[in-house]
Every structure is written in C-alpha cells, then in structure tokens.
Amino acid sequence: MKNSILKNKNINHNPIYIFIVFLATFFLLYKFIITMAISNAPDNIPFLQDKFLILDIKKNYKLPPRFRSIQELNISGCAQFRPSQIDNIKVAINSPKIIIVDLRQESHGFIDDNPISYYSLFQTINNNLNSEATLKYESEDLSKITLGNNIPIFKPTGEYLESIKSSTILNEENLCKNFGLGYKRIPVRDNFIPAPNEVDDFVNFVNNLDDDAHLLFHCHAGEGRTTMFMAMFQMLKNSSNLSLSTILNDQISVGGIVLTDSMFRGTFLEYFYNYTLENSSSNYKESYSNWLKNKNGLYIEGAPLHENN
C-alpha cells in the first residue's frame, strides 16, 4: 500500500504528466474565452465573426503591385489586380495567350473595379478544399453580396473602412473570360505551402501548356505564394540544371521575396526541387504526391508567417 502511494506521488510529479495537465487546462480555458468573446461580441465587430469583406487594393496604379516578368520563361507575377488594370497587364506581357494562375484559397471577387476578398482571423476560409470546391464556395460567398446595396468593407483588423455600392459583382474566372484571358485556380492557404494534390494539379497543368502560353501568377500581395509558384515553374523548366539557390535568387532579383525564411517553405521547395531532378526525364510521369510517399516525405502544412502573402 505504501509503495502504491509512492508511485502515485511520482506520477503526479512527473514532468510529462504536469505538462499534459497544463496543456489540457490551457486549451479548455482558451476555448472558454473565445466562445464567450464571440457570443458576446456586438454585430459591428466582424473581427470575431467567421469572415468579413476586405479591400485588396486601395490605390489604383497602372499595373498591380509587385508586377514582374521573366520573359524567357513566359511567366509573370503580381498582387491582386483591378479589372481596370488588365489592359495594361496585357500590354506589359505582350503575349497572344495569357493564362491567369490564381493562387488564392480565400474567396474573392470584384465589386465594380474594387477587388475584394473574404477574410478571417485564422485565414481558414475554404481550408483543405480543392479548386473545384473552392470555386463552388466562392460563388456562394459572392452571391450573398446584394446588387445596389451599400456593402461594408473592413480592415483586416476588423475596423470599419468604408461602404461600397455594388452595381456589378464578378468572380475572377468570369472576369478573365470577359477579357479573353485563360484562368487556372490552384488554391493555397495564405502563408502556407500547397497540399500535395494541388502540386500534382499544377504539374499536370504545366505539362499540358501550349508553347506560346504566358502564365501570370498572383496571390493577395504578390509575395509568398506568387514567388513560390514562379520558382516551382522554373524548377519544372530547369533544362540548364540550375541549383535551387540560383533559382530562388533569380526570383528575388525580379521582385519576389525570400522564401527560405520559413522553414516549412524551405523544406517544401527542397522536396519539390529534388522531385523535378528525379522526374524531368520521364516528363513527370510519377506524381509529386506519390513520389513524396515513396520518399517517406512528410506533408507539413506549416506555421503561418508574419507577412500577409
């Protein structure tokens, strides 16, 4: 009996046991606080609600922010654009066949000339959905915006910004059709890496491109997701066997960002680079997701970064 009591005392003072109890207590307390905050939040504080509309671009430039091109690869990149910028984009790219590659997982569209998107605190809108499902939910989100009404727009902090009166509402796919542009959606969560099935979709898409096609990649800010996929495209077309660091530096030199500041992005890009080296001779007959499994590679969606990409 004495030994049993001693054992129980040892368990209670076990660091692992204490840590588990601490985590469980913290989780329950956190859940309680969030639940109470949301249930008691006034209607005019969307920051605590599921999602709300933000304005993607406040100023109207000739070209979208962070616009850049690599003509020898037939690719360009930029932040979210306005409809009124598309003619200037077409002139800058100067290609008969332009395909917009939309990397945004979050639902977004256009109220007249204003690019808007749905935003949530933890950026989980349409999380884990493929492109088809993402487009479906996006269509449902945009259909809730009523024509002729004053639509409240907020800052990402949840602070009210302004109201926009809507006379037209379009999703990006239909906008591209109106301007004679192709459209491809590869949904990637903001500040995260793409899921293996989305990588497979991208590889297949690139494999079946016409030689004269020019791709314009974009995300919200034209930074993380855009730089990442422009680098991935360069890896797929890497006939000169450039090193990974050379490719990433090429992207920085034209206006992209440093991707290796994120351990998760850096690891993913190493995986993908090695995949292209091993599979380019077969024209990527083996999918990336299958290759990753055979290599015992882990898909880690990653931790959010500090910048909004």
Higher pLDDT, 221 or 305: 221
pLDDT of 60 > 80? The answer is: yes
pTM above 0.75, yes or no: yes
What confidence score (pLDDT) does residue 82 get? 97
What confidence score (pLDDT) does residue 309 get? 43
Contact between 54 and 119 (Cβ < 8 Å)? yes
| Residue 126 backbone class (left: φ over 0; alpha: ψ -120 to 50; beta: rest) | left
Closest to 48 (Cα-Cα) out of 33, 62, 58, 61: 33
What confidence score (pLDDT) does residue 59 get? 83
* C-alpha gyration radius of the chain: 23
What confidence score (pLDDT) does residue 36 get? 52
Measured distance CA(86)–CA(235) in Å, rounded: 28
Confidence of residue 121 (pLDDT cuts 50, 70, 90): confident
Q: CB-hemisphere CA count at 13 Å for 294? A: 9
Q: What spatial distance separates the first Cα and last Cα of the chain, rounded to whole Å? A: 61
Query: What's the whole-number average pLDDT of the chain?
Result: 86
pLDDT of 14 > 60? The answer is: yes
Each residue's pLDDT tens digit, 236-265? 999 889 999 999 999 999 999 999 998 889
**CATH class of domain segment(s) 52-294:** alpha beta
Each residue's pLDDT tens digit, 180-208? 999 999 999 998 999 999 999 999 999 99
Q: Span 123-148, mean pLDDT? A: 89
What confidence score (pLDDT) does residue 127 get? 83
Parallel/antiparallel/unpaired status of strands 160-165 and 52-55:
unpaired
